Amino acid sequence: MIPLSDFVLLIRSAVPRFQRNPPNAQQESCILHSSDVPLMIVAGPGSGKTTVLVMRALRLVFVEGWMPEQIVITTFTRKAADELRARLIEWGLRIKDHLRENPPLPTTAGFGSWIDSIDINRFVTGTLDSICEELLTTHRDPTDPAPVLVEGFVGNGILVRHALFPNQVHNNPALDAYLAGFSFSGTAPANFGEKIGICRTFLDRFVHDLIDLNNYQGTGNHREARQCLAECSASYRQFMAAGYRMDFALLEETFLQRLQQRRLQRFTNNIRALLVDEYQDTNPLQEQIYFTILQQTNASLTIVGDDDQSLYRFRGATVELFRDFQQRLIQHVPNRPQLHLEYLIDNYRSTPPIVAFFNSFIQNDDSFQSARVQPPKPQIVAQRQGNGVPVLGMFRRNINDLARDLTNFLWDVFRGPGRVINTGREPVTLIRDQNGGDFGDAVLLSHTVNEFAAQFGEQSPRERLPRLLRTSLAQLQPSIDVFNPRGRLIRDIPVVQQLLGSILNCIDGNGALQGTILLRSEPQRYLNIWRQEANRFAATNPPPSNPHTLMDFVHAWQNRTPQVINMQWPSEWPLLELCFKLISWIPMLRDDPEGQVYLEAVSRAIAQAATFSPYRSNIIRGHNQHEDNSVKAAIRDILAPIAEATVDVDEAIMPNIPRSRFPIMTIHQAKGLEFPIVIVDVASDYTRNHPKNRFRRFPDGPSSVQNMEDDLAPFCQIGPLRQTRTGLQRSFDDLIRLYYVAYSRPESVLMLVGVDPCLRYQTTIRHVATGWKSDGAWSWKTPVAGRAPALVNNHPLLLI
């Protein structure tokens, strides 16, 4: 083993990046901190927390002599988990190689074989869900089947069929009245889809928040509605349990139960260390899992997080668990040495003006300060050199002007001669990196990436900034594509409609079977739109037309007549195969990065249906009743869920997006990422102080998420802790954290964009992102004598 005092020297010699940039003093303290004393690291953005966590895990291997398989490291997203694993493997292998070539002197017997015995691949890392799934599979009793993890849309299908309908949810005015408190509009759910969404959130919350359901259904107002929801939860669980099916919440719950029953001792007996990244987004159930592991083992504990970057309250994340971690650990795991706290505040990502901007942003609202870890972490300190560019702002009279000017800006930077910024001192030219810089170095971040605003009545929906940018970038010569696969629902994407409509036309040519399935009007309407789009598309005779055209192929399918002479129509035709055959006429789904994301969502829906649908996503031939039923099952279990917009895309399947594309993403998606140029859309939607959009900028009441937390507070242990801040305060806290994450993503350039009414001196459009405080004061504004200026006079932006 390596002496602790040599470890930093070892990593500096073994890993090239640490030769150039050795760990700073705070990072070193975190890496070297005693493995016996629990460690909490409060780490600002870009301060190297992932780097530190990986180095600490490697130190436990090379200094303590623990094996990678004895070390559990969890993080929040799959992307972060991949990044963590990649760094562990790369740096771990380099250290091994270095030690093989340079064993410490005097060399001890067995050193070489010890090094060889370390299998860096065997760290137990991933999201907590993926680790639970793996352990429940590998450490189960011989009589227990492996868990079957169900996708969101499958879970919702089961919820509707086996819980909501049997419990008469569609027909329960008392429930409607209760759910009104948690709907988008504050009135009874507008449609069944919204009702399913709220019920699903409740069922997940019951599990994540460890709700006492007996108490919940027996107390307070809305008793009938609560009883109904508790019964739905019971029916849902019963059905899931019977097939050993689990959604993510049930997976974690089952894992906790197994731990508590001491049925995972092969796992717990082996653990020496537990390291948790992004702890600020932990929920109460996950906290229980961590505490139970600590109660049953002697594992060394390290948690890392940033309370200012907690974003997932709507999924049960409870930042207070991180804020109050010290007391909570003592309470639940009393026999440990007292927690040691370290701060990482040196920022290696962003230029000094950007760091100054997000530092002042997070301190802007006095009311927010008590929601932070106490004492709040010191100001973040920029370590990067400046480039002379202050934080920029592009605000225009209307959204069309904004889209046009933003497009020109991007063009100048990435294809043109650069954009000169007159800073008042030396002008600075913003230009792409000369070594392959491209549009992928910039990103547009927004609270939502929807390309269209919600539709009201028959009017066509308004185009939002992402849509206008897509259009104007496409009009450039040569044209630029965006990457925004979440911008529209897949049911609305023309190529997806061509594919799904062709599938429908193949399996149920005249729609006779579709007509016999009980579907709500919206999915019915979509199935018909898809068919029309597919017919229109087939009529264009898309290539290839050899050996047969798309239309011929569809006809052959409708008649179930093989196109190859002497071939018999198979008795079972997998729908996935039909899907991939049709793609030969729709190459965008195969070749285009957005197309690939859509195709993955469709094929995932088909593959998932194979796990629960009666005909396992096959179309049967030769058994009359089964022939029809297999088609009906495919429509009901695959196509209808897509038509109802319950199948989600997963853009994480794309490891690399072509760098010539301009990415557009939500602030949530950008968590943990960094880009040279970050454009934050703070106000392209806000032309007036409309009450409907206040919750996105300056709430005047708690949102549905906070309302649900408050409603459930009396029935869970975490409730009172959350309620130390009011629902309204928590709504403000969430918005502040959201924009803090956005503002801390850039390396070189941060630009806020929007339409300019919100920057007017006399504006009534208040917005947390533009410096308003929750008490109604605006820090970007100072009083003036005489006539008020047009624009606010104290904003910290260089307007371009």
Q: Annotated binding residues for ATP, as ranges? A: 43-50
Q: How far is the CB of 682 from ligand ATP (least distance, A)?
A: 20
Unique residue bearing structure tokens 């208040």: 766
Q: Which is nearer to ligand ATP, 46 or 155 (CB)?
A: 46
Q: Which is nearer to ligand ATP, 43 or 643 (CB)?
A: 43
Asked if 571 interacts with ligand ATP (CB under 6 A), we say: no
* Residue 473: half-sphere exposure toward Cβ, Cα within 13 Å: 25
H/E stretch holding 680 reads strand 675-683
Asked if 46 interacts with ligand ATP (CB under 6 A), we say: yes
Query: In what side-by-side order are the strands of the sheet with 746-755?
Result: 482-483, 662-666, 442-446, 675-683, 746-755, 392-396, 798-799
Q: Which is nearer to ligand ATP, 23 or 501 (CB)?
A: 23
Query: Per CB under 6 A, which of residues 268..307 are in contact with ligand ATP?
Result: 306
Asked if 580 interacts with ligand ATP (CB under 6 A), we say: no
Contact assessment for residue 482 and residue 662, using Cβ atoms and an 8 Å cutoff: yes
Q: Which is nearer to ligand ATP, 203 or 670 (CB)?
A: 670
Sort residue 337 into left (φ over 0), alpha (ψ -120 to 50) or beta. Answer: beta
Q: Which stretch binds ligand ATP (CB under 6 A): 23-31, 219-227, 386-394, 623-631?
A: 23-31
Pairing of strands 392-396, 148-149: unpaired
Q: Which stretch binds ligand ATP (CB under 6 A): 21-29, 62-70, 262-270, 540-548?
A: 21-29
Phi, psi of 662 (to 5 degrees): -95, 115
Asked if 29 interacts with ligand ATP (CB under 6 A), we say: no
Asked if 348 interacts with ligand ATP (CB under 6 A), we say: yes
Residues annotated within the binding site are 43-50
Of the residues 11, 33, 40, 48, which one makes contact with ligand ATP according to CB under 6 A: 48
User: Which of 700, 723, 728, 704 is CA-nearest to residue 713?
Assistant: 723
Asked if 372 interacts with ligand ATP (CB under 6 A), we say: no
Of the residues 26, 35, 50, 684, which one makes contact with ligand ATP according to CB under 6 A: 50
Q: Which residues contact 749 (CB under 8 A, 6 or more apart)?
A: 389, 392, 430, 676, 677, 678
Q: Which stretch binds ligand ATP (CB under 6 A): 46-54, 103-111, 211-219, 789-797?
A: 46-54
Which residue of the chain is nearest ligand ATP when measured via CB?
48
Q: How far is the CB of 275 from ligand ATP (least distance, A)?
A: 13
Q: Which stretch binds ligand ATP (CB under 6 A): 45-53, 94-102, 206-214, 576-584?
A: 45-53
Asked if 19 interacts with ligand ATP (CB under 6 A), we say: no
Q: Which stretch binds ligand ATP (CB under 6 A): 43-51, 287-295, 511-519, 614-622?
A: 43-51
Q: How far is the CB of 58 from ligand ATP (least distance, A)?
A: 14
Q: Which is nearer to ligand ATP, 91 or 202 (CB)?
A: 91
Asked if 45 interacts with ligand ATP (CB under 6 A), we say: yes
∠ CA(585), CA(588), CA(594), 5° rounding?
A: 150
Q: Which is nearer to ligand ATP, 45 or 147 (CB)?
A: 45
The rounded distance, in Å, linking the Cα atoms of 84 and 123 is 10
Distances (CA, A) of 346 to 87, 218, 352: 21, 51, 11
- Write the burial class of residue 787 (CB in 10 Å: 0-12 exposed, 13-18 middle, 19+ buried): exposed
DSSP 713-764: GGGSTTHHHHTTS-HHHHHHHHHHHHHHHHHTSEEEEEEEEEEGGGGBTT--
Asked if 49 interacts with ligand ATP (CB under 6 A), we say: yes
Of the residues 26, 35, 51, 359, which one makes contact with ligand ATP according to CB under 6 A: 51
- Write the burial class of residue 700 (CB in 10 Å: 0-12 exposed, 13-18 middle, 19+ buried): exposed
H/E stretch holding 303 reads strand 300-305
Asked if 43 interacts with ligand ATP (CB under 6 A), we say: yes
Q: How far is the CB of 22 from ligand ATP (least distance, A)?
A: 6
Eight-state DSSP code of residue 63: T
Q: How far is the CB of 344 from ligand ATP (least distance, A)?
A: 7
Of the residues 10, 14, 15, 23, which one makes contact with ligand ATP according to CB under 6 A: 23
Asked if 471 interacts with ligand ATP (CB under 6 A), we say: no
Q: How far is the CB of 328 from ligand ATP (least distance, A)?
A: 22
Q: How far is the CB of 280 from ligand ATP (least distance, A)?
A: 10
Provide the 10 A C-beta neighbour count for residue 732.
23
Amino acid at 174: A
Q: Which is nearer to ligand ATP, 30 or 43 (CB)?
A: 43
Question: Between 729 and 768, how does the x/- string for binding to ligand ATP read (CB under 6 A)?
Answer: ---------------x------------------------
Q: How far is the CB of 26 from ligand ATP (least distance, A)?
A: 9
∠ CA(691), CA(697), CA(698), 5° rounding?
A: 70
Eight-state DSSP code of residue 639: I
Q: Which is nearer to ligand ATP, 55 or 712 (CB)?
A: 55
| Three-state secondary structure call for residue 341 | strand
Q: Which stretch binds ligand ATP (CB under 6 A): 39-47, 320-328, 724-732, 749-757?
A: 39-47
DSSP 537-554: HHHT-PSP-SS--HHHHH
Asked if 703 interacts with ligand ATP (CB under 6 A), we say: no
Give buried/exposed letters for 303-319 (b at 16+ CB in 10 A, else e). bbbbbbbbbbbbebbbb
Helices 593-609 and 494-507, axial angle in degrees (round to 10): 40
Asked if 723 interacts with ligand ATP (CB under 6 A), we say: no
Provide the 10 A C-beta neighbour count for residue 633.
22
Q: Which is nearer to ligand ATP, 381 or 777 (CB)?
A: 381
Asked if 641 interacts with ligand ATP (CB under 6 A), we say: no
Asked if 21 interacts with ligand ATP (CB under 6 A), we say: yes
Asked if 24 interacts with ligand ATP (CB under 6 A), we say: yes
Quote the distance between the C-alpha of residue 492 and its chain's center.
22
Q: How far is the CB of 424 from ligand ATP (least distance, A)?
A: 30
Q: How far is the CB of 727 from ligand ATP (least distance, A)?
A: 28
Q: Which is nearer to ligand ATP, 43 or 665 (CB)?
A: 43
∠ CA(504), CA(510), CA(512), 5° rounding?
A: 95
725: its two tokens = 């801040």
Q: How far is the CB of 72 from ligand ATP (least distance, A)?
A: 19
Contact assessment for residue 52 and residue 43, using Cβ atoms and an 8 Å cutoff: yes
Provide the 10 A C-beta neighbour count for residue 57.
25
Q: How far is the CB of 352 from ligand ATP (least distance, A)?
A: 15
Q: Which is nearer to ligand ATP, 24 or 400 (CB)?
A: 24
Helices 521-539 and 550-559, axial angle in degrees (round to 10): 130
Contact assessment for residue 417 and residue 431, using Cβ atoms and an 8 Å cutoff: yes
Of the residues 8, 11, 42, 47, which one makes contact with ligand ATP according to CB under 6 A: 47
Asked if 672 interacts with ligand ATP (CB under 6 A), we say: yes
Q: Which is nearer to ligand ATP, 350 or 446 (CB)?
A: 350
Q: Which is nearer to ligand ATP, 680 or 755 (CB)?
A: 680
Give buried/exposed letters for 113-126 (b at 16+ CB in 10 A, else e). eebeebebeebbbb
Q: Which is nearer to ligand ATP, 49 or 766 (CB)?
A: 49
Site size toward ligand ATP (CB under 6 A) is 17
Q: Which is nearer to ligand ATP, 23 or 38 (CB)?
A: 23
The rounded distance, in Å, linking the Cα atoms of 81 and 302 is 16
Binding site for ligand ATP (CB under 6 A): 21, 23-24, 27, 43, 45-51, 306, 348-349, 672, 744
